Structure 1
Amino acid sequence: MHTIDEGDGLDIKQEIGRYLRYWPWFIATVAIALITAFLYLRYTPPVYETYSKIKILDESGGLELPTSAFIFKRSNINLENETEILTSYRIMNQVVRELKLNTTFYIEGTVQTIQVESLPIGFKQTIHPDSITNNLSYNLKVKPNGVEVTDRISEVVYFLSKNSSRTDENNLPFELDLNIITSRADLVGRNFVINFSPLKNTALNLKSRIGVSAIGKESHLLRLSIKGGSKALSERILNKLMNVFDRDGIQDRQLVSKRTLDFIDDRFVFLAQELDSIEVGRQYFKERNNITDIQVDAELGLGQRSQSEEEVFQIESQLALSRLLENSLKSSAESDLLPANIGISNNSINGLISEYNTAVINRDKFLNSGGANNPIVKQAVAQVEDLKANINRSLKNYVSQLETSRQQYDQRNRKFSGKVAQIPEKEKLLRAIERQQKIKESLYLLLLQKREEAAINLAITEPSIKVVEYALSNYGPVSPKSNIVYAGALLAGLLIPLGVLYLMFMLDTKLHSKEDIIKENPQIPVIGEIPNIKNKEVVIFDDPNARTPLAESFRILSSNVDYILPAKDDHKGKVIYCTSTIKGEGKTYISLNLSLALSSINKKVLLIGADLRNPQIHIHIAQDRHKPGLSNYLHDVHYNWKDAIIKGFDKHPNHHIMLSGTIPPNPAQLLTNGRFSKLIAEAKEEYDYIIVDTAPTILVTDTLLISSLADATVYLTRADFTDKSLLKFSKDLSESGKLKNMAYVVNSVGASKSYGYSYNYGYNYGYNSED
């Protein structure tokens, strides 16, 4: 195959034509590819895509009573964090558990097995999902009187009849209720497969199948998708995934309310005991001292003292709440939340508590989605510890301030005591008791109000997501797609033979037509192209009037031979050698037919078989191989060469043949003993043309030894047989003068149609092969 460069005139039509000669290959490969695509589409289980859309809510708020500032906000939503939580193993494991996805069902067909959502037979799983540690697989075959169950791993076979499907006769991890079955007649002979997989493997597999992507850069929308063979099962999985994720978010936001309720419930027990003790003590004090009513002290003294006591009351209330919170902070575990807004008047402490609770929730979320060594988790833990330390310090400072204030008010109250010295000691004691009772009652009412707020917020917690679209499945499968498969098959059907032919042409080193010779040896003429004859029975030009393509091709060759013969005025016969490079190129076949073509135009022709080593002429004329011929003449000086002349064709009276004769042991010596030159000289006197069938030039030197006697040399090549590299050898013979007036003849042209040559049109033009 030639390369295309600037000096190479590429015939595009010829290049296309030699590919189109193999059009049956293209049709066959395209047909096979399309049939393969059809079978692939027919027997490949379809895969459908199911998707849904959710919106991550920006914030949620609870009920706020007039005296409350209890609120929980979600802000600065990070869709990447939400995506990680949504696809976390914890969420996937919960979905697998609730839907029992580690148990799968399939319908087994002749070629393909299709997954289904459930079996058409009553099925009850008896093995707990956590107990499945290895893969289990069972084959169910429905029969008229029951179901045959085969353990596909151990190959143990069980038979479950209508009355035995719920007994303990087997150790199957499931039960079948054959009373719950759809149309038994339709199911008889059908095969079903039940697979059990460990929860962890199933959850990890589901995690890899779930796709989550953000819709837009500024929106809070996420698109969930999954691919599977069962639309119904995929839709159930996505809907359950959204439900589990929503519940998880709600539970996170309810943690503060739950912790507040637990804290208040624990404090109610102690407050109730203290109130009962104070009321009993007050009753005992009044009974013991026979007190029914105490007159009001002097207006000024009582007013000042009342005001001072009110301030002391507020300080002691704050002290009590601070100590309660301080005790809760000391006794709480590392991950516990603190009650928010329980009545402490210090806004800084309230703000720190709110930040602490938010940090605890964030830390727990990060712990769930990442490991303890995750840098984000460590940062969140450190933030919680820092906030806890800040709250502790702030409480201590606040208590210290309250103690100092209470001491100052006590000093002032002692001053007021001098003004109300007339008030009996009993009255002081009674007021102290009443004051303690009032403090505990107000604290009890405050905590009761906070408890109601927390309970209401717990009950009305908003969802963490809004479902924009519940799970929907595409109508058509995402794979395999028929358009793409057929297009790929068509393309492959065209490219495969094209590639094969390209490699064939690229690796092909044989010559196929005269153009190949002209490219290699443009100085040596090509005087004939002999077409390949499919009917091997008609290979000899035995009828001078034949109008077959073979006859016409040799007539053309005989005419062209005259153009390479030198002009002579001696009226002697002309000697034409027929030779080739290697054996099998058809020199004997060409020699015989060329001689017959010259004979058909009323020329006396002598065909000499000079290939003494491998004679072939006798085969074509049905003569004995050992019939006396040239070798006998060359060896015996008394032998007359005319005695070896035979006539092989009745319709060619002017055609004579001299066979090679007996194969001699020394052909080269015989050809150079002088008698062959004498033979040629005498034959030239009697014949118009002497055609000499010589030996191949590259194998032996016989032809070169007698080449000087030739007037012209017809050098045979054979299409699809002769290697192009051999043309250099023949070119060297011509340029060196070892072969006279050499011209090429291409034999068997058209044997391969890949190069676009068809010679029948030329040789059949104006003739009928049957005439």
Structure 2
Amino acid sequence: MENQFNNSFFGEEDKIDIKQVVRQYLSYWPWFIVAVVVSLLSAYAYLRYAPRIYETYSKVKVLDESEGLELPTSALVFKRSNINLENEIEILSSFLIMNRVVRQLNLNTVFYEEGTIQTSQIDKLPLDFLQKIKSDSITKTSSYRVLVKSKGFQITNLDTDKVFNFKEHSTFSENHTLPFEIKLNTNIPFVDIEDTAYNIIFKPLKDATLSLKSKVIVEAIGEQSDLLKLSIKGESKELSEKILETLMDVFNEDGIKDRQLVSERTIDFIDGRFKLLAKELDSIEIGRQGFKQDNNIVDIQTDAQIGLEQRTKSEEEVFALENQLELSELLINSLTNDSESGLLPVNIGIENVSVNSLILEYNTAVINRDKVISSGGKNNPVVQLAITEVQNLKSNIDRSLKSYSAQVKASLSQLKSKNRMLAGRVSQIPEQERLFKAIDRQQKIKESLYLLLLQKREEAAINLAITEPSIKVVESALSGIRPISPKPSIVYAGALMAGLLIPFGILYLLFMLDTKLHSKEDINTITSKIPVIGEIPDLRKKKDIIFNDPNDRTPLAESFRILSSNVDFILPVKDGEKGKVIYCTSTIKGEGKTYVSLNLSLALSSINKKVLLIGADLRNPQIHTHISEDKQKPGLSNYLHDVNYSWQDALINGFEKHPNHHIILSGSIPPNPAHLLTNGRFKKLIDEAKEVYDYVVVDTAPTILVTDTMLISQLADATIYITRANYTEKNLLNFSKELSENGKLKNMAYVLNSVGAKKSQGYGYNYGYGYGYGSMDDA
């Protein structure tokens, strides 16, 4: 019930107190002010002497080759697809392009001008400079310092510290091993460069190229744009502008050369193909000629038409001869079958004149015969003569017809043979036409290819002569008027931020790594059930640390008055008027239990209470040091050991202004303190003292070192457990917490000593006093 009351009275706080944390850091405000001042001064010095960095940029448009001059069909060979800006960016920032820029501008030779404070880069020396060493032959970095004196040059090899002195302002007139020659520039006033030092640094090409590659930034302007932005940062605006201008020229020339190389290779390829095509065309034409000669062809179509006409005519002739043959056979059959020698048909189609003439004579003779026979007898000589004439003519016609028929048959046989030959030639015409067309097709293909390549060669020659640029410069290299680095606003803001964050970070680490107690909140965090009844300010630097004067109004006196008031709240209410026993103990040595117990007893005495202070730390007594008494003066150990020794004989009135205050020192240090404290005489002492004094304050031994306090703990009405700010480890509170929870220490309450010893924690006397004073008002 007592602890519950005390916890309720003093309160518990589990949440983080933001104000307390802020106060904790603000108590170190001088650190923050010093850090901010130092940071701002450093920023000022940096801005004063830091090199000025300027940004130089340019903008280009990558041209699509199709936008240039080209013939309508050149797209088949030269037209490229839509521009891929990512590819162009990679080409622009490639090592090959950068290396060409470095070579053109000789960027592996760098110049610096030494100033009073800083050394700044310049684009060229204000002297006539001639580099003797080739760029490719530079394998390692070397540095030289050129000092322009009134009577000559002093050149120092910074790698070997070798000095070269030239009596005149020229190195051309003397022999030396320097990789360069210099002399005065007549266009620059000598007074501007007199007593000025310049640094010349030679770098390998690869190092200079990689350095430039890391400095140049190429990026696209927007997603839908085909513009590229080139930028570089450097000390020399002139040098940066030269670099970007040269980079654009090199990239443009590289694209032009690529396209010219395509044109050149196209022309070379076409020229090579021309020779092959000429040979192939000659071979085809010779084969065409041989084919015509072998097949007796002048023209396939004409020859085919003539062949068809000849075959038709031959067939007609065959038909006519067959008709004559049939007619002849018909007449022969008529002559053979006609026994009476009658008339023969006339003009039936026989084309033989003699036969037709004989037939006419025959028919005339037949008619004449028939007239003679009708007018005379058979034996009439005239009839006989007419009959004989008919028979003779008939024989002649038969012989003539047979002869004509044999002639027709011979002609017909020859004509059919000719007809068969003509038919064979006509039948061969399709195959000859197919073969001739194949030869003709090859000839036409080669001719068309020859003409196409001839056209492409002309196109390639035109493109080679008028190759369009790869890029269009939208903005030439421009440098900003003001440097981009350092920026005063950012530097000062960063310095201010650093001035605040550095001490904050250091303090945060110190607080995080700090394992000491600093305030009652630290105690409440570990054990909220045990109250903290007082916070004693740190007064170690003051001489008066003892509550000598009951009427004293010093912070020390007020803090212990508050403590004494709060002690009354934790003392149990008992019947009778016997005094209360208050133990003062701690975990380890040095936490101030003797200091607190002495001043607490004096604070209780200052309110007209009879108080007895007993030094029960028999192993390391300290009370005698505060009252200038001998350490071996008889005291508690003598009483406990000697049954004949009265404790009243050991009483000391160490403070004149506190007549109600008495002290019993620890006495001689015994070899067996624990045995003495448990022999019963200590309990007798307490019981007798309670009858005489209102409060008995006992300064006991530290609990973690020895068991002396636990042996007599049951005699206490309240146990004041002393902790010390910035001294007591937090984990030691668990030991005292267990002692209280196990009942080994009765009615325990904490007192935090030396509050304010470390101002960073934000707990000074005012906080402790205000807390105690508030407690008294609440009471």
Name the residue aligned to 1:662: 668
**Preserved contact between residue 713 and residue 746 of structure 2 (Cα < 8 Å):** yes
Q: Relative to structure 1, is the Cα distance of residues 453 and 636 closer, same or farther in structure 2, using a 3 angstrom cutoff?
A: closer
Instruction: Describe the superposition over 1:639-664 as per-residue Cα deviations: whole angstroms up to 9, x where unpaired.
Output: 33333222221211222222112212
Instruction: Describe the superposition over 1:204-234 as per-residue Cα deviations: whole angstroms up to 9, x where unpaired.
Output: 4434433333445565433322232211011
Give, in whole Å, the separation in 2 of the partners of 1:700 and 1:609.
Answer: 16
Q: Relative to structure 1, is the Cα distance of residues 405 and 478 closer, same or farther in structure 2, using a 3 angstrom cutoff?
A: farther
How much has 1:696 moved relative to structure 2?
A: 1.1
User: Secondary structure in 2 aligned to 1:475?
Assistant: coil
Give, in whole Å, the separation in 2 of the partners of 1:253 and 1:567.
Answer: 109
Instruction: Describe the superposition over 1:184-211 as per-residue Cα deviations: whole angstroms up to 9, x where unpaired.
Output: 4454443211112334443444344333
Letter in 2 for 1:524: I
Name the residue aligned to 1:368: none
Letter in 2 for 1:614: N
Instruction: Describe the superposition over 1:155-190 as per-residue Cα deviations: whole angstroms up to 9, x where unpaired.
Output: 221012226521242111222213647454454443
- 1:198 maps onto 2:198 in alignment: no
Name the residue aligned to 1:619: 625
**Preserved contact between residue 162 and residue 178 of structure 1 (Cα < 8 Å):** no
Give, in whole Å, the separation in 2 of the partners of 1:92 and 1:472.
Answer: 20
How much has 1:614 moved relative to structure 2?
A: 0.6
**Preserved contact between residue 170 and residue 183 of structure 2 (Cα < 8 Å):** no
1:67-466 pair list within 5 angstroms: 75-76=80-81, 78-79=83-84, 80=86, 82-83=88-89, 85-109=91-115, 112-162=118-168, 165-178=171-184, 180=186, 182-216=188-222, 219-251=225-257, 337-338=267-268, 353=270, 395-403=278-286, 462-466=468-472
Instruction: Describe the superposition over 1:359-400 as per-residue Cα deviations: whole angstroms up to 9, x where unpaired.
Output: xxxxxxxxxxxxxxxxxxxxxxxxxxxxx77x6775555444
Give, in whole Å, the separation in 2 of the partners of 1:562 and 1:457.
Answer: 110
How much has 1:461 moved relative to structure 2?
A: 5.1
**Preserved contact between residue 580 and residue 717 of structure 2 (Cα < 8 Å):** yes
Residue of structure 1 aligned with 2:701, choices 695, 707, 721: 695
Give, in whole Å, the separation in 1 of the partners of 2:772 and 2:536.
Answer: 19
Q: Relative to structure 1, is the Cα distance of residues 60 and 505 closer, same or farther in structure 2, using a 3 angstrom cutoff?
A: closer
How much has 1:617 moved relative to structure 2?
A: 0.7
Residue of structure 1 aligned with 2:585, choices 564, 579, 588: 579
Name the residue aligned to 2:433: none
Instruction: Describe the superposition over 1:496-522 as per-residue Cα deviations: whole angstroms up to 9, x where unpaired.
Output: 333333344444433333333344334
Q: Relative to structure 1, is the Cα distance of residues 85 and 536 closer, same or farther in structure 2, using a 3 angstrom cutoff?
A: closer
**Preserved contact between residue 724 and residue 755 of structure 2 (Cα < 8 Å):** yes
Give, in whole Å, the separation in 2 of the partners of 1:42 and 1:609.
Answer: 68
**Preserved contact between residue 611 and residue 662 of structure 2 (Cα < 8 Å):** yes
| Cα RMSD, aligned residues only | 3.9
Instruction: Describe the superposition over 1:592-646 as per-residue Cα deviations: whole angstroms up to 9, x where unpaired.
Output: 1111112112222221211111111111112222222222233333333333222
Name the residue aligned to 2:60: 54
Residue of structure 2 aligned with 1:517, choices 518, 523, 542: 523
Give, in whole Å, the separation in 1 of the partners of 2:75 and 2:19.
Answer: 88
How much has 1:118 moved relative to structure 2?
A: 1.1
Name the residue aligned to 2:501: 495
**Preserved contact between residue 61 and residue 73 of structure 1 (Cα < 8 Å):** no
How much has 1:568 moved relative to structure 2?
A: 4.2
Name the residue aligned to 1:442: none
Name the residue aligned to 2:686: 680
Letter in 2 for 1:78: I
Give, in whole Å, the separation in 1 of the partners of 2:181 and 2:619.
Answer: 90
Letter in 2 for 1:660: S
Instruction: Describe the superposition over 1:567-595 as per-residue Cα deviations: whole angstroms up to 9, x where unpaired.
Output: 44543333222112221121111111111
Name the residue aligned to 1:630: 636
Q: Relative to structure 1, is the Cα distance of residues 338 and 408 closer, same or farther in structure 2, using a 3 angstrom cutoff?
A: farther
Name the residue aligned to 1:437: none
How much has 1:691 moved relative to structure 2?
A: 1.6
How much has 1:256 moved relative to structure 2?
A: 8.2
How much has 1:479 moved relative to structure 2?
A: 3.9
User: Secondary structure in 1 aligned to 2:59?
Assistant: strand
Instruction: Describe the superposition over 1:741-768 as per-residue Cα deviations: whole angstroms up to 9, x where unpaired.
Output: 333222222333445444427748999x
How much has 1:456 moved relative to structure 2?
A: 8.8
User: Secondary structure in 1 aligned to 2:39?
Assistant: helix
How much has 1:409 moved relative to structure 2?
A: 11
Choose 1 or 2 for highest CA Rg.
2
**Preserved contact between residue 153 and residue 169 of structure 2 (Cα < 8 Å):** no
Name the residue aligned to 1:605: 611
Q: Relative to structure 1, is the Cα distance of residues 709 and 49 closer, same or farther in structure 2, using a 3 angstrom cutoff?
A: same
User: Secondary structure in 2 aligned to 1:195?
Assistant: strand
User: Secondary structure in 2 aligned to 1:744?
Assistant: strand
**Preserved contact between residue 518 and residue 726 of structure 2 (Cα < 8 Å):** yes
Q: Relative to structure 1, is the Cα distance of residues 127 and 650 closer, same or farther in structure 2, using a 3 angstrom cutoff?
A: same
More deviation, 219-228/156-165: 219-228
**Preserved contact between residue 211 and residue 224 of structure 1 (Cα < 8 Å):** yes
- Give the TM-score normalised by the residue count of structure 2: 0.68
**Preserved contact between residue 116 and residue 233 of structure 1 (Cα < 8 Å):** yes
Name the residue aligned to 2:743: 737
Q: What are the ranges of 5 or more consecutive residues in structure 1 without an aligned counterpart?
A: 1-6, 260-334, 340-352, 358-387, 414-449
**Preserved contact between residue 62 and residue 71 of structure 1 (Cα < 8 Å):** no
- Give the TM-score normalised by the residue count of structure 1: 0.69
Letter in 2 for 1:337: I
Give, in whole Å, the separation in 2 of the partners of 1:731 and 1:456.
Answer: 100
- 1:561 maps onto 2:567 in alignment: yes
Q: Relative to structure 1, is the Cα distance of residues 660 and 187 closer, same or farther in structure 2, using a 3 angstrom cutoff?
A: farther
User: Secondary structure in 2 aligned to 1:53?
Assistant: strand
Letter in 1 for 2:758: S
Give, in whole Å, the separation in 2 of the partners of 1:746 and 1:61.
Answer: 90
How much has 1:723 moved relative to structure 2?
A: 2.6
Q: Relative to structure 1, is the Cα distance of residues 534 and 121 closer, same or farther in structure 2, using a 3 angstrom cutoff?
A: farther
User: Secondary structure in 2 aligned to 1:510?
Assistant: coil
Q: Relative to structure 1, is the Cα distance of residues 54 and 572 closer, same or farther in structure 2, using a 3 angstrom cutoff?
A: closer
**Preserved contact between residue 597 and residue 698 of structure 2 (Cα < 8 Å):** yes
Letter in 2 for 1:720: N
Give, in whole Å, the separation in 2 of the partners of 1:404 and 1:336.
Answer: 31
User: Secondary structure in 2 aligned to 1:594?
Assistant: helix
Letter in 1 for 2:745: L
Q: Relative to structure 1, is the Cα distance of residues 229 and 407 closer, same or farther in structure 2, using a 3 angstrom cutoff?
A: farther
**Preserved contact between residue 30 and residue 493 of structure 1 (Cα < 8 Å):** yes
Letter in 2 for 1:677: K
Give, in whole Å, the separation in 1 of the partners of 2:68 and 2:612.
Answer: 120
How much has 1:540 moved relative to structure 2?
A: 0.6
Name the residue aligned to 1:19: 25
Give, in whole Å, the separation in 1 of the partners of 2:499 and 2:149.
Answer: 45
Q: Relative to structure 1, is the Cα distance of residues 496 and 90 closer, same or farther in structure 2, using a 3 angstrom cutoff?
A: closer
User: Secondary structure in 1 aligned to 2:267?
Assistant: coil
Instruction: Describe the superposition over 1:113-149 as per-residue Cα deviations: whole angstroms up to 9, x where unpaired.
Output: 3210111233222333344344332111222322211
Letter in 1 for 2:617: D
Letter in 1 for 2:725: A
Letter in 1 for 2:230: L
Q: Relative to structure 1, is the Cα distance of residues 677 and 461 closer, same or farther in structure 2, using a 3 angstrom cutoff?
A: closer
How much has 1:107 moved relative to structure 2?
A: 1.6
**Preserved contact between residue 750 and residue 758 of structure 1 (Cα < 8 Å):** yes
User: Secondary structure in 1 aligned to 2:732?
Assistant: helix
